[in-house]
Amino acid sequence: MGVYTTSLSWPLALIYGGVIRLRHLLYNKGILPTRNFDLPIICVGNLSTGGTGKTPTVLYLLDLLGDQKVATLSRGYKRKTKGFLIANNDTGPADLGDEPHLFHQQFPEAIVSVGEDRCAAVDQLMHLPDPPEVIILDDGFQHRRLRPGFSIILTDYSRLFSRDYLLPTGQLRDIRKAAKRAQMIVVTKCPTDLATADKEKLTNELCKYGPKIVLFSYIHYQKPLSLTSGSVADLSGPVHILLLHGIARPKSLREYVRQLDPDFKEMAYEDHHDYTTADIQNIKNAFRQLPEGRRMVLTTEKDSVKLRQFDHLTAALPIYILPIKLDFLFQGEGIFNEQILAFTHNYKH
């Protein structure tokens, strides 16, 4: 995990960094206005371009805050709608975006909302007949017009923001020092055997940028579930897998699937890919080319919300969803839960 390589794009990165620093200065000096709201808002964000594990973190928070009236607010990346929208029985991934639709599926009692203008969206949430007691702001760390009470920065273990560079040289969309606005850093997708000495070293490295609470998490893969019936997959013997996904950083996913099938095949699409009828045909063709024996198509929860619209075409395919759960190393779960619950229960404007 050394310092990441750079390229000849340094001049563009310097210009981009100058624009970002000027923007922060204008907000810090009050020249550009920020807004506070009279309820606890938890922001889950990052400094990079994505793939750090925001979705499992939001799902973890929804579960943790289950005894409160919770709303999630996302931009709704790549959705076909505009403006403010609340999920209901008639909305789908095209209306909300992949992740918000997944939030709604797993936590139908929560108010799952999308809106490009975060401040205007919070105003509308607060004026609902049954308004939320707490709002989870999904991927809103760069949205400085809104000032959350508690911000969590996620950073991928394999690409720490402390060792990355600004776009287009690296994958940072914000400067490292922006982390000082956060209350917590969570290093995601860690190896489960991370040594205590490495944890201490990385904690000291990341604490230089602001937050003194640094936690370490990993993706806990659950048993695959059938897309059609919800039944649990039988992994007791050899199985040939076609891995199907459209996610930003699939490294840990590939490593896990390799444990199930060392020779698995893969169909990788861009992040937030909208599947088409032609894609389904290509998936069928790739599935037929798997070796004889027990075979399955394995996909992510995020991709599954897009694939469901093709049930009539995929009925004959054994497609399984691989659920994931956020877990913490070094007893970090207790610290995380305590910090979040203390913030929401003791919130004062």
Q: Is 50 labelled a binding residue?
A: yes
Q: How far apart are CA 52 and CA 204, in angstroms?
A: 20
Q: How far apart are CA 269 and CA 283, in angstroms?
A: 12
Edge to edge, the sheet with strand 225-226 lists: 225-226, 319-322, 295-300, 240-245, 265-268
- CA 203, distance to chain mean position in Å, is 22
Q: Is 52 labelled a binding residue?
A: yes
Spell out the residues 6+ positions from residue 285 whose beta carbon is closer than 8 angstroms to its own: none
Which amino acid is it at 157?
Answer: Y
Q: How far apart are CA 294 and CA 241, in angstroms?
A: 9
Q: Is 51 labelled a binding residue?
A: yes
Q: Which residues pair with 186 in a beta bridge?
A: 154, 215
What is the number of H-type helices and E-type strands within the chain? 11, 14
Of 310, 300, 344, residue with least CA distance to 56? 300
Q: Which residues pair with 73 in a beta bridge?
A: 113, 137
CB atoms within 10 A of CB 168: 12
Q: How far apart are CA 96 and CA 80, in angstroms?
A: 8
Residue with tokens 């760390």: 141
Q: Which tokens belong to 342?
A: 């203390």
Q: Is 158 labelled a binding residue?
A: no
**Residue 59 in contact with residue 326, Cβ under 8 Å?**
yes
Q: How far apart are CA 136 and CA 63, in angstroms?
A: 12
Q: Is 48 labelled a binding residue?
A: yes
Q: Which tokens belong to 314?
A: 């995929």
Q: Is 251 labelled a binding residue?
A: no
Binding-site sequence positions for ATP: 48-55
| Residue set of the binding site | 48-55
